[in-house]
Structure 1
Amino acid sequence: MPNPRKKVVKPRRAADAAEASHWRDAFTRYLATECGLAENSVAAYRRDLRRFYEWLAGRRLPNLTVGELAGYPAWLSETQELASASVARHVVSLKVFFRYLQLEGVLNDNQAALLVSRKLWQKVPTVLSATQVEKLLAAPQPGEPLWRRDRAILELAYATGCRVSELSRMRLEDAKLDEGHCLCHGKGDKQRLVPLGRRAVQAVEDYLEKERPRLAQRRDPASTRLFLSSRGAPLRRERVWELLKRYARQEGLTSKLSPHSLRHSFATHLLAGGADLRHVQELLGHASIATTQLYTHVDHSRLKSVHKAFHPRG
């Protein structure tokens, strides 16, 4: 006698699930091998597609019209409660996926190309003051587990403006401490040299001398990663983010910190000190200066000084 509680998977639904899995796997292989995207970018596309197929349930992909697809961004915003920036990214991922399916002959037309993202309101990033940064960088104290590593991470993050992913992937050979700079590997494996201040150099040297050798012995003495976990494995970017949040909470700083908070602060403080926007763009590794210009909206002190210096009635 069949169990009435046992969930019966209809053949059509099972076939749709298998097809979805096949094309997700094929698409992500295409992005990694033929497009040469970084691992994190490929993972982001895969997550976006998983959400799309969740919305797609019960619909046939080849038969979708642009009118039906228009409901997808609305679903992301209203049902999934995603921010405008996240909705826009999902729409871009969908357009790329549909273009791939068109190349593979699965779709005759790319209906997703007609989707228009909702206008994004530019959001001012969370920026710490110089005093708050000082408190955060001094938070790892002697006596705490791996405090030298944690202080080196925070000092290096603020000194370079690195993305968290760039920091976690940094290798020993990238830290040119005797030359006072480090090599950052950005998006698309673009490289840039960023100068290091004395305090950052000292913090990293202290970690390399007194903590890292012990950590490396726990797993792989030949490891080339700069920052290691308590077990000697390469430190994940998620762990770097957890450390930042923990020390910020410990010092009573803003709860709105993001993985980019020290990067935002790095850029804003440079502009406040009089740095040229083009130089800040180069240090951050931005492909477009339009991205760097966001920080001119954050740095009100710089704008006021420019207005006072150059406006006839300043």
Structure 2
Amino acid sequence: MPSPEHNAIEEVRSLVGEYEQFLSGKAEGTMDAYLRTVRHLIGWVAQRPGNEGQFQPPQLTQTTVELYLAHLEQEGFSINHRARVKSTISNFAQFLIEEEGLLRRNPTRGIELPILPPHAPRELSGEQRSILRSLVEQEGDPRGAALFALGYWAGCRVSEISWLQMVHTHVGPQEGWLHVGYKGSKWRDIHLLDQACKPLYAYLQATGDTERTYVFLSQRSERLTEEAIHYWFRKLKARATKVQQEVIQDITFHDLRQDFGERARKAGWSLEEVANYLGYVTG
């Protein structure tokens, strides 16, 4: 006879499966992100004191969600990431209310996150650039060097790097180009600068599996997720000395892309050239 713990696990698995069906109208990437967030949330709630390692929908209270978002902040996740998580939890709660009847109130209602003021594109200082580049070099990891190069030397979005496919990657030791883009961004062909081409080519040579779908590999899935790239960048910064960390602590991977645009402008690119290269132009 199955134990109560086994039954609880099966109930959660079934609930997540039904939620996946509820999301079936959304884009594949959005579905994946929602499901990862919900699974992480469920696991975190189950480990809260008094929950005995099990998740029950009524545990999803406003206080619980506030504590979870505070936990993410302590882990170093940005306000934008937490806003996306809150939106996902709200969607999951509506599913529990409308489809399952397991929740009476949306726990995200009344939770306010700080609003980020509009800001100009970020330009890194010479010291910040030097520290980040030296950290990548010290790490000595081909994958990390390629990730950094595509952000810093090619201005690619995290999603574009995560979903970059082998068939869209054309690089040699001296030159190369990529066909990049992802759902919400403009697809485009970009010629890689030498500083971006060499690390990417070295990584491809080190991995060797040319038949795989995605360029950046992960031990847990067929591609390196957006969350994993942000996690890698946080770990990279954590390798810095205390003095260096004070200089680079608030830099995000997205800032590498913005800094590339600023450096390109100073190198003589027109606004239109920068916009085309970074995929800002519509049409």
TM-score (norm 2): 0.61
* Counterpart for residue 46 of structure 1: 39
Match status 1:170 vs 2:173: no
Structure 1: segments with no counterpart, 5+ residues = 1-9, 288-314
Q: Which residue of 1 aligns with 2:190?
A: 195
Question: Of the candidates 232, 237, 241, which is equivalent to residue 242 of structure 1?
Answer: 232
1:194–1:283 contact (8 Å) kept in structure 2:
no
User: What's the offset of the Cα at 1:122?
Assistant: 1.5
In structure 2, give the amino acid aligned to 1:223: R
* Partner of residue 71, structure 1: 63
- Shift in Å, 1:92: 1.8
In structure 2, the residue corresponding to 1:25 is in which secondary structure? Answer: helix
Identity across the alignment (%): 17
2:133 matches 1:133? no
Structure ID, larger Rg: 1
Other structure's SS at 2:188 match: strand
Shift of 1:280: 4.8
**What is aligned with 1:37?**
28
CA distance in 2, matches of 1:241, 1:80: 12
Give 1:115's match in structure 2, choosing from 109, 114, 120.
109
Please list the CA deviations of residues 221-251 of structure 1 after superposition, one character each: whole Å capped at 9, or x if unmatched.
Answer: 533544568x9x9773537853785488469
Quick one: distance in 2 between partners of 1:272 and 1:91?
38
Residue deviations 1:256-284 (CA, integer Å, cap 9, x gap): 1444342343355567789759x759826
Inter-partner Cα distance in structure 2 for 1:28 and 1:286 = 34
Unaligned runs of 5+ in 2: none
For 2:232 and 2:198, the matched residues in 1 are separated by 20
Q: Is the 8 A contact 1:183 1:194 kept in 2?
A: yes
Residues 1:182 and 2:178 are matched in the alignment: yes
Rounded Cα–Cα distance in structure 2 between residues aligned with 1:95 and 1:240:
23
Cα pair 1:181 1:193 within 8 Å, conserved: no
1:97 alignment partner, one of 83, 86, 92: 92
Quick one: distance in 2 between partners of 1:234 and 1:156? 19
1:95 to 1:133, Cα distance in 2 relative to 1, 3 A? same
Distance 2:230 2:80 in 1: 23
Counterpart amino acid of 2:167?
E
* Partner deviation per Cα, 1:90-143 (whole Å, 9 max, x = no partner): 432222113323453x229862188133141427798632564356447666x9
Superposed CA RMSD in Å reads: 5.1
Q: 1:266 aligns with which of 260, 267, 271?
A: 260
SS of the residue corresponding to residue 160 of structure 1 reads coil
Q: CA offset at residue 29 of structure 1?
A: 5.0
Instruction: Give the equivalent residue in structure 2 for 1:297.
Output: none
Q: How many residues align?
A: 260
CA–CA separation in structure 2 for the residues paired with 1:197 and 1:61: 49
TM normalised by structure 1 equals: 0.56
CA contact (8 A) 1:140 1:151 kept: yes
Letter in 1 for 2:116: Q
CA deviation map 1:157-189 (0-9, x unaligned):
223322345324322332356997522243x47
In 1, Cα distance between equivalents of 2:80 and 2:231: 20
Question: Take 1:87 and 1:262, find their aligned partners in 2: how far apart are those partners?
Answer: 21
SS at match of 2:28: coil
SS at match of 1:183: strand
Pick from 178, 184, 207 the counterpart of residue 215 of structure 1.
207
